[in-house]
Each structure stands twice: as structure tokens, then as C-alpha cells.
Chains A and B, each alone.
Chain A
């Protein structure tokens, strides 16, 4: 751990809407420069947690220190240091991508030419003169992220930036998010795509029903599961008997298209398969955050 003070310290925050406890005792700390993910299904309390940290909602109880300051009530001194990406429609009507960025920049007293730099960062340079309503879903998401970054904040909050995007657009956005992290920003982001968080985040908190169930680097969480590795072969490339005979194979089962070998020692299993020349169409699936979620909640993960 470094000696720089953490960017965010959240202690035991609560927020209820009537009977519904949206956030029920959440605590976490985010270090400077960290890419922190809050994961969970819809309604887990991710967005409310984020909005409390941003200062947009006042919690019923608990405390938040954002860059050493209290974010609520509205803390004008803090605002230039944080960037919040909102839903991908938070644009001025009929303005082009560049004009949106120029307008937002001016709210922070920042030179309009930053707009070009931001467009470049999110890969929208060729769409600079396109009006917001003519942009695709992915382009709008990228523009809204650019709008959150235009004043060069220290901490960036992204709420479901990849929701409702097609796979290609999601991957494009991952590059943008990585580029932001490389600029030394602290990123806090929510998603319900566990696979994505596993790839992007330094550390994740898994939330459900307003509580954090687990919080660690994704790899640590997955390793902690001690789950078997699945080696998946094409059906027919190996008989069930032969598969069961492989040293290290704990369990073997087959369906119409594939044969799955579960093992805790994948290396010898794979070398045996290689010797037999049955590597065609082979897949290796290790445990994922979805398995972690299943393990934590006892139910299948559904976004």
C-alpha cells in the first residue's frame, strides 16, 4: 500500500426509499489511480451508492470522504475535481459532439480546444460535427464519457458505461477506459457485466440487495473459490471411458455437442490430451466472477 491518502473513503452508508433499503451499510476505500468496479445485478444498489459518493444524494447514515472532502451538500470546491458520466442522453439538444464538449468545458472555465483532445481520446474525431441525436448508441456513450472528462478531473465515476452496447462497441469502450486509467485517473465504475469487470478492474465489490458481499481483485475472488477448471472437447473426439481414465480428471460429463472434463490439475490433463492429438476445438474454462456470485448468493447470476 502506498502512503498517498485514498481517493474515496466510504463508511457504513445507508439509504432507504420507504421500505426498500437501497443501500444497507456499505463501506469501501478506493486508492488513488485505482480502477474500482461495483458489480451486481440491477437493483443491487450500485447506482445509489455511486450517487451518494458523488454527492448527488444524501445518505440516511454513514459518511463519505471524497478527495478528503465531504461531497454533500453540494460542494462546489470539489466539483471540478470529479467527473461523472451520466446516462447517454445528458446532452444539449441539437448540438454537435464538439459543441457539447465546448459547452461543458466552458462551465469549468476551460478552453474550448480541449474538446478536440477529448474527441480524440474517445475516438470520435470524425464525428465532431455530428449532432448528438445522429450518433449511435456506442458513440453517445463515448461522448458522454468525454463530457465527464473534459475538465480533467482526478476521480471519474462511470455508471454502467457499457450497458446496452453491442459487443464491438463494448470492446471499443474498454480501450477508452484503459486510456483514462493510463492518465492516472481514479475510476469508479458500475456494471452488471461480470466478465467485463474481471478484465478491466483492479478491484471489485460485488453487491446484492444493498450490501457488499465480497471485495477483492477479481483474480483473488476467483482463486478463493477453489473451483475446478473445465476442459471442454468436441463430442466424439474422445470416449467417456477414455476421458475418465485420464489422470487428474475429477468429473466427466457429456451433452449432445461437447464433453466436459472437470479438473483441479489442468496441466497434466491438457498434456495427456495433447499426446492423444485431441486438441481440436478444445476450450479451457476457469471459474469466473459469475461463479463467485453464484457461490456468494446461492443463485445463478442474471444481469
Chain B
């Protein structure tokens, strides 16, 4: 029996790695997203507010020292104001003698607020200093590592989960439909092997492929140009990874049990996976989405796989964070797998 398992697994693995289109959609396509988004958002969150400046003086010097703004110098007020009016700059600081004048754009309230606050704050601080009086109220600020992540930190687990999910669903569904349509299932049924041998060898190939995908995606994201930093508890993502593969394998088997043709299976798999990809935080952090959308996304296994992968790969959560994603994924696998086994047929009839 183990001979049958090994040779079936080998046959399926060869079929997978010899198919260029499958390889493209399993490896290159998700990597393209990782590379494009990774490079596109590389500097997000690090950019400074640019404001115009005319003249010179201690206020402008102090503004530059805050490190929060970048000054763009203009020779005349008119040119600078035009830039503000055109919406190219949020504000223009004009320093002549002891007077500091700020002109700001009314369209972007929050940026205007930041610019106003900054310029006013710096000016007042200089005023206090000039008065020679010790400040009455002390102000202290310190940096805290916040929960929001650099783009590559959420892109990697998200795109990786998505790529693995797509491959698992399509692989299982198309194998099932193709084998039924071409009578390979009948041929297997005529051989003295058990259905569980067939099922377990297909699952083994799916897991092996997912493992290679994970290595490739993380490997690329770790390159200095993208700069992924893995947390200390990254290895806790392995159970989430395995259960996620299992859940999507089950979904693929269900689609494969329902659909009669490869075309129908491809369509069905897309209908299942695409909305999940967009609503589960694959391409953007789901925390930024409106609350109702976050609730909807909790119904998707991909969301929980994403969460689990993110928690351990980059957020460094401890083992207690395993509970929710693992429980949801196991539940999904059991329910979907049960339905698939009920719907399954060996032959079209």
C-alpha cells in the first residue's frame, strides 16, 4: 500500500511541476504581487510633510530641526502661495524679521492642522525661550512601537496565505474533475487500493507544494530590498499553515465533487477565492477596513489563516494566539470535508 501511496504522490508531483501554467500561478503570480506592492509601499509611513518656506530666521531653522517637515524654499511669496493654491503644498511659512506668517490650504483639514500645530508650537517654544523664563509645564514625548506594520510585514503573510490557498483549492478541484472526466478515478477504483491512499497522496502533494511556496515567498521578502523581519515566534505559524492548507484542500475537494468540467471548476474556485483574497487582508491590512467588512471577513478561512500567519511571522505573539485561527480552520476543514465526502462521486453518470 505504501508503494501505491509513494508512486501516486510522485505522479501528481510530476504533473504539477511539469505544468508551466500551474507553476506560474502558484509561484510567479503571487510573487509579482509581493514584489510590486513591496516596492510600491516600501517607503510608506516614512515620508515627511513638505511645506514651503520664504525668508529665513530661527523659526524656520527650528522647524527643520523637528525632523517632521521638509522645507521647500521659495524666493518670492507669490510663487509659494501659488503652489499652496494649486494643492502642491499644504502650507507656506513666511518669515520676515520677527513675524512668522503661515498660509495653508483649506482643502486638507488634517494636514493643515498638523502644519498649523507644528509651526505654532515651534514659534511658541522660541517665544518662551526668548522670554528667559523657565517653562512652567514640562512636556515629554517618547516613541512607542505601535501595532501598525510596515507594508512588507503584512504583505508577506497575506500574499503567502493567498498564494497557498489558491494553489490548494485549484490543485484539489482540478485534479478531482480531471481525473473523473478522464476516467483516471475509475482506473484507480479498479486497482486494489483504498480511496484514502488516493486522498492522502493528493493531500501530501498539496502540502509539499505549499511548503515550497512558503519558502520562496518568505525567502524573497527577506531580501534586503524588501526587508521582512521575522518575529521570534515564527515557527508557531507552522500549525496555522498546515491547517490552512487542509481547509483550502477541503474547499477544493468540495468544488471538485460538484463540478463536471475543468472550466466550471476554475470558475467556481475563482468565485470562492477571489472575494476572500480581497476581503481577508491579503493586499491591505484588514484593520483599516470598516467594521462591517471586518465582521464579514471573519467568515472566511483565509482571514483566519492571514491573522494566524501575521501573528506569528511578524507580530511575535505567543502560543495562546494559536487557539482562534486553528479552531476556525479545523472547523472549516471538518464541515467542508464532510460535505465534500457526501457529494463525491467516482464517475459522471
Contact residues of A with B, CB < 8 Å?
Answer: 54, 56, 74, 76-77, 79-80, 82, 84, 86-87, 89-95, 99, 102-104, 106-109, 131, 147
Instruction: Tell me the interface secondary structure of chain B in the complex.
Output: helix
Note all chain A residues with C-beta closer than 8 A to B6.
Answer: 106
12 contacts between A and B (CB under 8 A): A54-B190, A56-B186, A90-B182, A92-B11, A93-B15, A94-B14, A104-B187, A106-B4, A106-B8, A107-B8, A109-B3, A147-B187
B44 at the interface (CB under 8 A from A): no
We find that the number of chain B residues with CB closer than 8 angstroms to chain A is: 25
Q: How far is the CA of A131 from the CA of B11 in the complex (A)?
A: 12
Note all chain B residues with C-beta closer than 8 A to A86.
Answer: 183, 186-187
Note all chain B residues with C-beta closer than 8 A to A54.
Answer: 190
Q: How far is the CA of A76 from the CA of B178 in the complex (A)?
A: 24
Decide yes or no: A89 and B183 within 8 Å by CB, A79-B192, A108-B192 being known contacts.
yes
Most buried by A among B14, B184, B192: B192
B7 at the interface (CB under 8 A from A): yes
Q: How far is the CA of A90 from the CA of B184 in the complex (A)?
A: 5
B215 at the interface (CB under 8 A from A): no
B189 at the interface (CB under 8 A from A): yes
A188 → B minimal CB distance (Å): 14
B11–A103 contact, CB under 8 A? yes
Contact of A106 among B3, B19, B183, B189 (CB under 8 A): B3
B191–A79 contact, CB under 8 A? yes
Q: How far is the CA of A95 from the CA of B16 in the complex (A)?
A: 10
> B1-41: which have CB < 8 Å to A?
3-4, 6-8, 10-12, 14-15, 18-19
Note all chain A residues with C-beta closer than 8 A to B4.
Answer: 106-107, 109
Decide yes or no: A94 and B7 within 8 Å by CB, A76-B192, A79-B190, A84-B190 being known contacts.
no
Note all chain A residues with C-beta closer than 8 A to B347.
Answer: 56
**Known contacts A90-B182, A107-B192, then 9 further A-B pairs from the complex at CB < 8 Å, ordered by chain A residue:** A54-B190, A74-B189, A79-B191, A79-B192, A90-B187, A91-B182, A95-B14, A103-B11, A104-B187
Note all chain B residues with C-beta closer than 8 A to A109.
Answer: 3-4
Note all chain A residues with C-beta closer than 8 A to B334.
Answer: none
B188 at the interface (CB under 8 A from A): yes
Most buried by A among B4, B11, B182: B11
B25 → A minimal CB distance (Å): 15
B225 at the interface (CB under 8 A from A): no
Decide yes or no: A102 and B7 within 8 Å by CB, A86-B183, A94-B18 being known contacts.
yes
A153 → B minimal CB distance (Å): 10
Q: How far is the CA of A271 from the CA of B19 in the complex (A)?
A: 67
A54 → B minimal CB distance (Å): 7
Note all chain B residues with C-beta closer than 8 A to A94.
Answer: 14-15, 18-19
Contact of B15 among A82, A89, A90, A95 (CB under 8 A): A95
Return the 7 tightest CB-CB contacts between A and B, nearest first.
A106-B7, A107-B191, A90-B183, A94-B18, A93-B15, A89-B182, A86-B183
Most buried by B among A79, A90, A99: A90
Note all chain A residues with C-beta closer than 8 A to B12.
Answer: 92
B294 → A minimal CB distance (Å): 41
Note all chain B residues with C-beta closer than 8 A to A56.
Answer: 186, 189-190, 347
Q: How far is the CA of A104 from the CA of B9 in the complex (A)?
A: 12
Q: How far is the CA of A95 from the CA of B15 in the complex (A)?
A: 7
Note all chain A residues with C-beta closer than 8 A to B188.
Answer: 107
Decide yes or no: A99 and B187 within 8 Å by CB, A106-B7, A107-B7 being known contacts.
no
B191–A108 contact, CB under 8 A? yes
B128 at the interface (CB under 8 A from A): no
B193 at the interface (CB under 8 A from A): yes
B217 → A minimal CB distance (Å): 25
Most buried by A among B18, B183, B187, B347: B187
Q: How far is the CA of A95 from the CA of B12 in the complex (A)?
A: 9
B19 to A, closest residue via Cβ:
A94
B43 → A minimal CB distance (Å): 43
Q: How far is the CA of A77 from the CA of B190 in the complex (A)?
A: 11
Contact of B19 among A93, A107, A147 (CB under 8 A): A93
Note all chain B residues with C-beta closer than 8 A to A107.
Answer: 4, 7-8, 188, 191-193
Note all chain A residues with C-beta closer than 8 A to B184.
Answer: 90-92
Note all chain B residues with C-beta closer than 8 A to A102.
Answer: 7
Q: How far is the CA of A131 from the CA of B3 in the complex (A)?
A: 23
Note all chain B residues with C-beta closer than 8 A to A95.
Answer: 11, 14-15
Contact of B11 among A76, A80, A99 (CB under 8 A): A99
Contact of A103 among B8, B18, B19, B183 (CB under 8 A): B8
B37 → A minimal CB distance (Å): 32
Q: How far is the CA of A86 from the CA of B182 in the complex (A)?
A: 9
B184 to A, closest residue via Cβ:
A90
Note all chain A residues with C-beta closer than 8 A to B18.
Answer: 94, 131
B18 to A, closest residue via Cβ:
A94
B192–A80 contact, CB under 8 A? yes
Note all chain A residues with C-beta closer than 8 A to B192.
Answer: 76-77, 79-80, 107-108
> B160-201: which have CB < 8 Å to A?
178, 182-184, 186-193
Note all chain B residues with C-beta closer than 8 A to A76.
Answer: 192
Note all chain A residues with C-beta closer than 8 A to B182.
Answer: 87, 89-91
Note all chain B residues with C-beta closer than 8 A to A90.
Answer: 182-184, 186-187
Q: How far is the CA of A22 from the CA of B278 in the complex (A)?
A: 50
